Structure 1
Amino acid sequence: MAEFLQQLINGLAVGSLYGLIAVGYTMVFGIIGMVNFAHGDLFMLSAIIAFICFVILVTLLGLSSVIVALLAVMAIGMVLTSIWNWAIERIAYRPLRGSFRLAPLISAIGVSMALSNFVQVSQGAESKAIPHAVDAALSAKYQIWSEVASDGRAMDASLSLKAILIFVTTAVLLAVFWYIVSRTSLGRAQRACEQDRKMAALLGVDVDRTISITFIMGAALAAVAGLMFLVLYGSVNFRDGFVPGVKAFTAAVLGGIGSLPGAVLGGMLIGLIEKLWEGSFEGDVAAYRDVAVFSVLAITLIFMPQGLLGRPEVEKV
């Protein structure tokens, strides 16, 4: 039981990260119907930005309050990553919006490679570790279950401060962004663009501005996810954008692309499948966790093509 609870907690923590990244995918796809494959590398870039900010604030300036450092790094990362994504949308995507469907996809792949290589050249190929003071301050664990195994070993399950931070951050951001999309004029403009961009423009909606803001919102979520990734794993390198990006896109599809709660739900399901698979098997079999994830995705889409919480697509005539 203790091992199961521990894997459950670990899976939900990792899945929350996937969910935060997946929301960026689902927001962009919902409005312009494009998969921003550079989003995973944008997440990696935000983690690098968080690392640099931690080094400056904690190591160079000697900031002792970890809470202040986290809030400052989160704010700086959201601003800088949003500027990056705004520039990417203006330069790489907007000029191709009216072209054939493969052009934005090719451009997104090119941007992904450019971001990855930029980080590799500017920061090096080695992993960047979070300052020890920050990692030590967030390393607290709270025991929630304890038992004695059949072989006499003591086993317990604990909830780490890092996991709590990830859970709270994900819940708050999901609530905030759901409110923005559902209850504000910006959200109404986004939903209008999702249904019909030409009609929305005729009704006075600034489509270009709405799309740019959507990219900025997705980048802000990626920045928070990058910070949480750095806090959870303690290090980051230029390769850490591809795999989480693919899994986050998978989470968006599994949950129902276009649905914000679906993206987070899909991310948590993928995280749970990964960790429970690792905890249930050993050796080479445990390494097939990604096969299990994509198998569940395939089975789900066979019976629910729109995903778990997605809406069936209605063809306009």
Structure 2
Amino acid sequence: MSDFFQFVVEGLTTGSFYALVALGYTMVYGIIRLINFAHGDLFMVGAFIGWTGLMVLASAHLPLALVLLIALVAAMTATGALGLLIERLAYRPLLRAPRLSILITALGVSLALQNGVLLIYGAGFRTYPHVLTHTGFELHGVQITFAQIGIVVASLALMLALYFFVHHTFLGTAMRALAIDQDAARLMGIDVERLIQLTFLLGSVLAAVAGVMEGLYYTQINFFMGFVLGLRAFTAAVLGGIGNIPGAMAGGILIGLLEAFGAGYVSSQWTDVFVFGVLIGVLVIKPTGLFGERVVERM
């Protein structure tokens, strides 16, 4: 039984990373009905910028907490700016174009980000400093580290903050109105372009946070990490109901648990089969996901 709960702890930790990235997918889709396949690569870019910040500050003789904070803020700022740039140059000119055009553009942006990082940092792995210790406690045979608790708590806090922003602020209300009908929102005086930019900014910042946390936890990053995690985070968004913020968080946790149980009880080589099998099953049985609502397409 202790193995079962150990897999739960590991699944919650991994699922927290998926959930943060899935929030970006679900926000962009909820606003402009775009599956932003480049979003996983923003997660990867955030991880590399955080690593760069830590390497630059390694010899600065600053307190460790301050170094981590500076690296995290740098990753959030740079990745957020990159998300805004992508929206402005790649997506905005195609918002009125056929969906296939913007989808192909998203795949192109993904490849551009991957190869850009490959040219700058190379194909090898980069190693984060081992700043997160594996200290923790044992509960009925289950090993729980303080790093795992911090990751799960931070992810839940960010999700709750985003949910509060969307549902209890003026800008959040405008974003929800925009998600329902862009033309009507524009007629009501809502700055549609600025809200779309804000959506990309928030999603990119969350992806950067997830990238830095994963780098600190697993210590190794590479240029291809965003593609694989992005697909799993997209699966999490679909499972929870893409366009639904709590659904994205729940979907990320469920995918993390499924991956942990699959690796623990069967084999780690079959985890992709389990994860993407769930994606196929959800699309066939309940395309709107666990918490999603059916959306009426407007022509």
Q: Distance in 2 between matches of 1:176 and 1:256?
A: 19
* Contact residue 129 and residue 216 of structure 2 kept, 8 A: no
Which residue is 1:61 aligned to? 60
What TM-score, normalized to structure 1? 0.91
Bigger mean CA offset, 82-91 vs 294-303: 294-303
Select 1:251's aligned residue among 224, 231, 236. Answer: 236
Name the SS of the counterpart of 1:63 in structure 2: coil
Name the SS of the counterpart of 1:60 in structure 2: coil
1:6 maps to a residue whose letter is Q
Q: Distance in 2 between matches of 1:192 and 1:293?
A: 33
Q: How does 1:85-104 map to 2 (within 5 A)?
A: 85-104=83-102
* Contact residue 92 and residue 107 of structure 1 kept, 8 A: yes
* Residue deviations 1:272-311 (CA, integer Å, cap 9, x gap): 01110111124xxx41121112222333343322101111
Which residue is 1:42 aligned to? 42
How far is the alpha carbon of 1:315 from its aligned partner? 4.7
* Contact residue 162 and residue 231 of structure 1 kept, 8 A: no
Which structure would you say has the larger Rg?
A: 1
Gaps of 5+ in 1: 147-156
1:55 maps to a residue whose letter is M
Q: Distance in 2 between matches of 1:109 and 1:305?
A: 22
Aligned pair 1:263/2:248, yes or no? yes
Which residue is 1:139 aligned to? 134
Q: Distance in 1 between matches of 2:285 and 2:231?
A: 22
Name the SS of the counterpart of 1:142 in structure 2: strand
How far is the alpha carbon of 1:125 from its aligned partner? 1.0
Q: Distance in 2 between matches of 1:308 and 1:232?
A: 29
Aligned pair 1:52/2:52, yes or no? yes
Q: Distance in 2 between matches of 1:205 and 1:15?
A: 35
Which residue is 1:221 aligned to? 206
How far is the alpha carbon of 1:4 from its aligned partner? 1.3
- How many aligned residue pairs are there? 299
2:76 maps to a residue whose letter is M
How far is the alpha carbon of 1:142 from its aligned partner? 1.6
* Residue deviations 1:88-131 (CA, integer Å, cap 9, x gap): 00000001111121111111111111111111110111111012
Residue identity (%): 44
Name the SS of the counterpart of 1:159 in structure 2: strand
Name the SS of the counterpart of 2:198 in structure 1: helix
* Residue deviations 1:13-68 (CA, integer Å, cap 9, x gap): 001100000000000001100111110111100000111111122x2213232x32
Instruction: Call closer, same or farther: CA 1:261–1:179 in 2, change over 3 Å.
Output: same
Q: How does 1:73-152 map to 2 (within 5 A)?
A: 73-132=71-130, 134-135=131-132, 138-146=133-141
Name the SS of the counterpart of 1:252 in structure 2: helix
Name the SS of the counterpart of 2:225 in structure 1: coil
Gaps of 5+ in 2: none
Q: Distance in 2 between matches of 1:302 and 1:112?
A: 27
Which residue is 1:212 aligned to? 197
Aligned pair 1:202/2:197, yes or no? no
Q: Distance in 1 between matches of 2:31 and 2:63?
A: 43
Name the SS of the counterpart of 2:235 in structure 1: helix
Name the SS of the counterpart of 2:291 in structure 1: coil
2:125 maps to a residue whose letter is S
RMSD value, Cα: 1.4
Aligned pair 1:310/2:292, yes or no? yes
1:298 maps to a residue whose letter is I
